[in-house]
Amino acid sequence: MGAAEQRALIEAQGRRTHQLREDLLALVRQEFASLSSYRDADARRWVEQIVPSVTGAQRDMAGQVLTYLLELLADMLGRRVEPPQEALPAQLPQDLRGVDMAEVYLRPFHTIWTALSRGAPLDKAVEQGMSRAEKIAATDLQMAKVYTAQAVMAGVDAVTGYRRVPRGAETCALCLIASTQRYHREELLPIHPGCDCGVAPLTGDDDPGQVIDEELLEATHDAVEAAFGREAVDRGGRERDYRRLIVTREHGEYGPTLTVADQQFTDADQLGLSPDRPAPTRVNAREGDEQEPPAAAPDAGGDLAAVEERLRTGLAEALGTQVQVDLAGLDAENAADIARALVDMAQRYPDVDVTEVSSAGPDGMRHSTSHAEAWYDSASLHFNTASFGDRQTALENAADEPASGWTFPGGAGPYSVAVHEFAHLLDDQGLDGRWMEATGPFDAPLQQQYLQYLLDRGVDIHDEDAIAEFVEQQIGQYGATDFGELVAESFTDYIVNGDDAYELSVLIAERLHRAWEEGT
């Protein structure tokens, strides 16, 4: 077949894989909507139902990609091409993310539970959870596509590389720009959440995927203008190389991932960082000030009653008022970490209102799966004995949650969880604790900074899914559930990781600090 027929084959493959994607997402929506309560039992039932469906769709995708590439390569090379063993659908790894799929598909329920704990109506919380479930499934299907494509091209000696094939005018700016890039056959195609691109192989000078038509070129210009501004566009095509606007970085689960050039997120090496690094004093520092070492904090470990008394005394000295403390059921080391965090924060923010620090079993929490909760109506903090009653459980959570992408490196230990909940009180009492779904807080200075930050990085501020994907890459899935959690996660990242905190964390945490330090 000639070039036109090869191109038709590529386009037909795009339609087939897109239909498979739409069929899977329709099933995800159907199964998710059929749940009755979205509690723990429903979550387990959902995982049991959806994971086999997703793995089946992944194998179907692998089979489609294998058949398409073998047919296209046979025509390009003029001979039959044997399928590489590694590219067979039966060889597709079940956990392409490197994370148990059962754990991954529980994440939509964490989104729902977090939204409910923040006061969202049930229908809105379920909508957020369903959107998250769709994004997870779409990404898993794309990972199966790129894994199989790479296995085929790495296993056929005549292939020299390959090209990304965008699906057309609806493709995002990242993919349109990246479609001008050629990849070595050993490289895994960089993706991003929601990506639906295909691939076309290269053999010597034969490049059936390189079609520069006016419609695609104009779509690229339009996408660049929408994402990066009019000044980034070069419709003449002689001066501007759009590839400078994007980079490929390593995501801890997705692997090579397209992103805006100055955007950062958790890579595989960072996921192994110590879960509870000492808290720096950065939040107290103004530019040019000398940073003092942290004030004395409760010693770690020891008798639980002694930890409670140190916390009670430390809060009273810092806040000038008595705080009710009852940590019954918590492991003493976990309680000591929590106490250290709360005294650290109280010393930094002595005007915050805290009435109670207590523990409770799952039934005593407003949501049974929460590690901890800040109750705004009573200015109180509550820690779940299911999460912190055992030291080993707490340490496993501290390692597993950053590794899964749920939170940032260092974001899940007892110290960090306590800082996170304290940040909710700071947000509620300092920034009025209110936010709009997509555009962020009602606090005008932070809203302006936040929206400008998103715009500067090519994020469509009218697209909640685009914002959520960006925040996930910046700081983790928990911070993407709503703006209140983003504030708390950002502040905690800033406290725990200091100079290593993400840029977005710095922006939000410093605004929260100024609201308390300067009253503005």
Instruction: Please give the pLDDT value at position 275.
Output: 34
Instruction: Please give the pLDDT value at position 217.
Output: 53
Between these two residues, 145 and 193, which has the higher pLDDT value?
145
Between these two residues, 282 and 468, which has the higher pLDDT value?
468
Instruction: Please give the pLDDT value at position 357.
Output: 97
Round the average pLDDT of the chain to a whole number and report it: 76
pLDDT of 212 over the 50 cut: no
What are the pLDDT digits (tens) for 146-191? 888 888 888 888 888 777 777 644 455 555 555 555 666 666 565 5
Cα dihedral 84→90→96→100 (10° resolution):
-160
Instruction: Please give the pLDDT value at position 292.
Output: 33
| Mean pLDDT (whole number) for 401-414 | 84
Task: Please tell me the distance from the alpha carbon of residue 80 to that of residue 189, in angstroms, as a whole number.
Answer: 25
pLDDT of 225 over the 70 cut: no
Between these two residues, 484 and 267, which has the higher pLDDT value?
484
Instruction: Give the relative orientation of helices 122-155 and 107-117 as an angle to the nearest 10 degrees.
Output: 150
* Band of pLDDT at residue 221, cut at 50, 70 and 90: low
What are the pLDDT digits (tens) for 256-271? 655 544 434 333 333 2
C-alpha torsion sign, points 157, 163, 166, 171: positive
Question: Rg of the chain over CA atoms, in angstroms?
Answer: 25
Instruction: Please give the pLDDT value at position 132.
Output: 84
Specify the fold of 273-283+296-517. Answer: Collagenase (Catalytic Domain) (3.40.390)
Range from 318-322, 468-472, 496-500 that averages highest in pLDDT: 318-322
Between these two residues, 104 and 4, which has the higher pLDDT value?
104
Instruction: Please give the pLDDT value at position 170.
Output: 45
Instruction: Please give the pLDDT value at position 253.
Output: 56
Task: Please tell me the distance from the alpha carbon of residue 34 to that of residue 28, in angstroms, as a whole number.
Answer: 10
Residues counted in the chain: 520
User: What token pair was written down for 200?
Assistant: 């076309």
pLDDT of 143 over the 80 cut: yes
φ and ψ at residue 73, rounded to 5 degrees? -65, -35
* Band of pLDDT at residue 341, cut at 50, 70 and 90: very high
Give the burial string for 471-493 (b: 16+ CB within 10 Å, else e): bbbbbbbbbbbbbbbbbbbbbbb
pLDDT of 496 over the 80 cut: yes
Instruction: Please give the pLDDT value at position 180.
Output: 57
Classified as helix, coil or strand, 487 is helix
Of the listed ranges 44-48, 387-391, 455-459, the one predicted with least confidence: 455-459
* Band of pLDDT at residue 372, cut at 50, 70 and 90: very high
What are the pLDDT digits (tens) for 21-53? 999 999 999 999 999 888 888 999 999 999 999
| Mean pLDDT (whole number) for 272-287 | 30
What are the pLDDT digits (tens) for 92-138? 887 777 778 888 898 888 888 877 766 678 888 898 889 889 988 98
* Band of pLDDT at residue 289, cut at 50, 70 and 90: very low
* Band of pLDDT at residue 346, cut at 50, 70 and 90: very high
pLDDT of 443 over the 70 cut: no
Classified as helix, coil or strand, 104 is helix
pLDDT of 364 over the 60 cut: yes
Between these two residues, 482 and 491, which has the higher pLDDT value?
491
Count of H-run helices and E-run strands, the chain: 16, 11
Question: For residue 183, what are the contacts with CB-CB under 8 A and spacing of at least 6?
Answer: 161, 162, 163, 164, 189
* Band of pLDDT at residue 200, cut at 50, 70 and 90: confident
Task: Please tell me the distance from the alpha carbon of residue 135 to that of residue 365, in angstroms, as a whole number.
Answer: 29
* Band of pLDDT at residue 299, cut at 50, 70 and 90: very low
| Mean pLDDT (whole number) for 240-262 | 52
Residue spans per domain, the chain: 3-261, 273-283+296-517
Percent of the chain clearing pLDDT 90 (strictly above): 25
